[in-house]
Structure 1
Amino acid sequence: MFLIPLPSLLLSGLLSLQLTSAFPSSFNSPEPVLARQVESCNTASNRACWTDGFDINTDYEVDTPITGIVRNYTLTLTEEDNWTGPDGVVKEKVMLVNGDIHGPTIYAQWGDTITVRVINNLETNGTSVHWHGIRQFGSNLQDGVNGITECPLPPGSERTYTYIARQYGTSWYHSHFSAQYGNGVVGAIHIDGPASLPYDIDLGPFILSDYYHKTADELVIYTETNGAPASDNVLFNGTTVDPDTSAGEYAKITLTPGKRHRLRLINTSVENHFQVSIVDHSMTIISSDFVPVNSFTTDSIFIGVGQRYDVTIDASQDVANYWFNVTYGGGGLCGSSNNPYPAAIVQYDGAPDGNPTDEGTAPIDHMCLDTMDISPVVSRTVPTAFTASSGNTMDVHLDLTAPTFVWYINNSSEKVDWDKPVAQYVAENETSFPSDLNTWTVDEEDQWVYWLIENDPNALFSLPHPIHLHGHDFVVLGRSPDTSPITQTTYTFDASLLSGSNPVRRDVTMLPAAGWLVLAFKTDNPGAWLMHCHIAWHVAGGLSVTFLERLSDYRAGMNQTDIDVLDSQCTDWNNYFPSQDPYPQLDSGI
């Protein structure tokens, strides 16, 4: 692990499968392979193939191999007091999914139908579960965002989400009830499909997450009047070592000598962005978020909150143990941890147990910016004749003058109404919405719409933000020049920096500190879609908007069954909150 100093204070801001341990320290066996429709396709020598008529070059936004296969899961949410965590520290309270700190992985194949029964056995909290990055094409009410697509699910209740895996790759699910996912309501999604590079072994998801000994609820309140605290530790697939007591154990990734392995990296943090690297090994990126990309080899990768990278790793070194390192760049503005050397172990099969001896060298500083050096396999050409205006420009601003910190976009801060979500207004044929919902109406049909996001251009100090869009992958047409956020160099929008020739496409990207970002998406998926910063403290403070995409088509697409489920869940919630809930809504609610 790298012996480099880290700042102590960060200035930026559940399933029926049974696991053998809440802390899977050994990560050494391939993931389960689901039954294939065409057994001769998608082999170690040719991962680009998938099934008849579908391969790596198929545009999944246009065509999906609907299999008719249903993958059923059950997610049970519970709470536990005085819980001993993976680093040996007792936490006052934690939320678990099927008894584990990370819910079990949802496995499916491209084109399968996924159904997830969610049972809320929490003591007082409502919940909703969002399927991060899942496009929900034509299924907006399955998006799992309380206050937007549903009312929260009250304690003692359950519901079932159903959606089609129209994309493939790696993602995660998490609660969208305030910062609840920071208490443990989180898990991985693994959808098998073609890949842009051959590999021998799929090691499956590897979850990276900041970890705090206080509850996320306490931290939200703290950050309303303070800078964000350093994380107490970093978890690697649910386990870690305490830097002071050495309690716990390092997660292990086992490689088979001479083989190429696929590893699915996910950052499920509430606040920390990570730079990851493996001593004496490079990684080859084959997917960013849910988008297959042409293979790109690098020595280190920046992974912002909510982002995913599928990589291949060649086991071509000596049979030994090697550090898998997490570091922080950007002068502390990408996050920090009280564990100065967060790490896991890459162990070659046949190597003796023990910690690696070579600490390696620190990677380049990625400056809190995701790479722009990747190109999607399925190419897009997007017009860039974009003119900034008040109708397509979003200025991000932090108000430090109020009693608590509040985040604004164009002087409006989003705070949802748990009692009546946006979808219910739409179902009732409303055409105007409360200002607190911060809705932006997008009426164009099947057109590219463009958004310039400016990061506090008049502020004395600004922070990088991971911007996540529901319901779509966006294209990143351009951003301000790459500089370290610690310099606070201010940039104004420059249209000459835009490029629409097969731009980066994903569902989370970084808004540079003191800079700007231009995103575009095609209006082909009517619904109410949240776009927000994925730092939990920032979205809790209101840093989000809701796009109302093709409102009339959205309403027309709601069938009576959808509306009945929506209304029934809202009735259950309104019977519970606030009369039976001892805790008021203190933040944005999402």
Structure 2
Amino acid sequence: MLINGKCPGPTIRADWGDTVRVTVTNNLRINGTSLHWHGIRMHENNQNDGANGITECPLPPGASKVYSFRAEQYGSSWYHSHFSSQYANGVVGTIQIDGPASLPYEEDLGVFPLTDWYYGAADEIQHSLIPPPGAAPPADNVLFNGSHVNAAGGGSYYRVKLKPGKRHRLRIINTSVDNAFTVSLNNHSMTVIQTDFIPVNAYTAQSLFLTVGQRYDVTIDASQSVGNYWFNVTFAASGLCGVANIRYPAAIFDYEGASSTALPAFQGTPPPDSLCEDNTNFSPIVTRSPPAPSFTASPDNALDVSIAVQTWEGQQRVYWKVNGEDMNITWDEPTLEYLAKGDMNFPNRYNVFEVPQANQWAFWVVENGLGVPHPLHLHGHDFLILGRSPAVANPFAIPVRRYNDATDRATLNFANPTRRDTTMLPGNGWVVVAFRTDNPGAWLFHCHIAWHVSQGLSVQFLERVQEIPATVRLEEIEPVCEQWTTYYSTSPHKQFDSGLRV
């Protein structure tokens, strides 16, 4: 599946403060679609978030829709289908919003999306995960801006040109379905200037860990000898947050004056094992420091992730659950459609958590009851990462670590902690996050592994619900929902999972 005949699709580029309008036409024969603008806050613009079943009905074949939003943030991100398995089949593209930088640079290398790639059709893979054990296969390849060699000897390495003596900006984006990466450029360091859409004070590292959905804007000084250098992707040794059949996934960075066809002579030294752990040592330039006394751990702000096998329509199925419920929405009855009708009686499996107070800090303690880590992404906000349980090499070898306020509170950071829109929930561990309730709407908070959210690993925060009719243009939802209802009654592609996919 392609966008404008390309995979990845075209880069949407704008300046900070611009209004972006994108017309989406669904030319697929038997699938609906929707596009989500990952990391874009959609302030008082919930109906353009692109999460079918939450903020809209899917766009049926032959129909068009205009998404519109103001670029209130700047930096690098991506857009992708939020319907069925399309994102894993290639319905994805990048976003570049130009604005200030915390470190001067001379050359902008643009967006650099990295993704896992499966040679089989994504919907067939997803169907294979329905029965136990529900474990996904390894990726077949890793693509660098859509390119790479393959195990059979075909394809080509993606190449990036560096100008000797210049400082370059590179916008690294993990657009994967299931895989987290550690990236490194041989003989070069990278200086982080943004984490997701958050400008940070310059932070220099030899390697960077990116889980699914995360972005790093970095600068690279071309200060080495003119030549060719590997840009390597490696995986955590445990295999719990990424594994691929391709050996040594890499791109090539060529200095001007070096051969444009030669392979680098030095393979490089593997970076330290990430242990599937986020780096939380970044210091945002615009500070946010919630008052520590305002945080109280309680059942009201606890999200417990678990896995279960249940029988549905005579078949055993694997589900990921939050607080004992796997999310299962209905495409033709999105959350905002309920609100447009004045109906607050949501089914339990919509996993609705109300956040009623305005301009307060909402704290959430997320606990993981299994050794598999999960990349958690929040729509409509970025969030503070106040703390988490320490990384371990093999989470399955230890008991589940629940948040204990008596012993763990002292480890939390309330003084301008790392802020972003996607973070890793440790295996058999916990993470504490917080966001400011300044954006009325229905916002998904979900695992960004496509297979897991399909199996239910998601909740939605219904934020300041009484204000939604005044701030969200609910009337924009109905026309597409009417088109979808007419189409779906005769569609051969019936909903078989949570109704969500990232």
TM-score over 0.5 for the pair: yes
2:153 is equivalent to residue 246 of structure 1: yes
User: CA separation in 2, counterparts of 1:434 and 1:267?
Assistant: 33
- Structure 1 residue 486: Cα displacement: 4.6
Letter in 2 for 1:520: A
Determine the structure 1 residue equivalent to 2:329. Answer: 416
Letter in 1 for 2:252: I
Letter in 2 for 1:292: P
Letter in 1 for 2:416: N
> Does structure 1 retain, via aligned residues, the 8 Å contact 2:32–2:83?
yes
User: CA separation in 1, counterparts of 2:121 and 2:443?
Assistant: 28
Match of 2:198 among 288, 291, 294: 291
- Structure 1 residue 384: Cα displacement: 2.4
2:67 is equivalent to residue 161 of structure 1: yes
Q: Deviations over 1:460-517 (max 9, x none)?
A: x421000000000110111012222455433221222111100010000000001000
Match of 2:299 among 374, 390, 399: 390
> Does structure 2 retain, via aligned residues, the 8 Å contact 1:331–1:486?
no
What is the identity percentage for the equivalent residue pairs of Structure 1 and Structure 2?
53
Determine the structure 2 residue equivalent to 1:175. Answer: 81
Q: Deviations over 1:294-332 (max 9, x none)?
A: 110000000000000000000000100010000001411
User: CA separation in 2, counterparts of 1:498 and 1:563?
Assistant: 39
Match of 2:187 among 273, 277, 280: 280
User: CA separation in 2, counterparts of 1:207 and 1:145?
Assistant: 22
Q: Deviations over 1:374-418 (max 9, x none)?
A: 110111111223222111000000113551110100001111110
Root-mean-square deviation (Å) = 1.1
User: CA separation in 2, counterparts of 1:109 and 1:266?
Assistant: 19
Determine the structure 2 residue equivalent to 1:314. Answer: 221
Determine the structure 2 residue equivalent to 1:463. Answer: 372
2:502 is equivalent to residue 588 of structure 1: no
User: CA separation in 2, counterparts of 1:105 and 1:121?
Assistant: 20
How many residue pairs match? The answer is: 487
* Secondary structure in 1 matching 2:10: strand
Q: TM-score, normalised by structure 2?
A: 0.95
2:376 is equivalent to residue 497 of structure 1: no
User: CA separation in 1, counterparts of 2:432 and 2:468?
Assistant: 26
2:384 is equivalent to residue 478 of structure 1: no
- Structure 1 residue 450: Cα displacement: 0.4
User: CA separation in 2, counterparts of 1:563 and 1:480?
Assistant: 40
- Structure 1 residue 436: Cα displacement: 1.6
Determine the structure 2 residue equivalent to 1:564. Answer: 475
Determine the structure 2 residue equivalent to 1:360. Answer: 268
Q: How does 1:9-24 map to 2 (within 5 A)?
A: none
Letter in 2 for 1:325: N
Q: Deviations over 1:337-389 (max 9, x none)?
A: 01021010011011012111100110001111110111101111112232221
Determine the structure 2 residue equivalent to 1:267. Answer: 174
User: CA separation in 2, counterparts of 1:349 and 1:491?
Assistant: 51
> Does structure 2 retain, via aligned residues, the 8 Å contact 1:112–1:165?
yes
Determine the structure 2 residue equivalent to 1:518. Answer: 432
Q: TM-score, normalised by structure 1?
A: 0.81
User: CA separation in 2, counterparts of 1:179 and 1:366?
Assistant: 28
Q: Deviations over 1:30-85 (max 9, x none)?
A: xxxxxxxxxxxxxxxxxxxxxxxxxxxxxxxxxxxxxxxxxxxxxxxxxxxxxxxx
Flag structure 1 segments of 5+ consecutive residues without an equivalent: 1-94
> Does structure 2 retain, via aligned residues, the 8 Å contact 1:178–1:589?
yes
Q: Deviations over 1:204-229 (max 9, x none)?
A: 00010000001111111122233110
> Does structure 1 retain, via aligned residues, the 8 Å contact 2:371–2:396?
no
Q: Deviations over 1:100-134 (max 9, x none)?
A: 11111000010000000000001100001000000
* Secondary structure in 1 matching 2:69: strand
Q: How does 1:332-351 map to 2 (within 5 A)?
A: 332-351=239-258
Determine the structure 1 residue equivalent to 2:230. Answer: 323
> Does structure 2 retain, via aligned residues, the 8 Å contact 1:469–1:508?
yes
Match of 1:202 among 105, 108, 111: 108
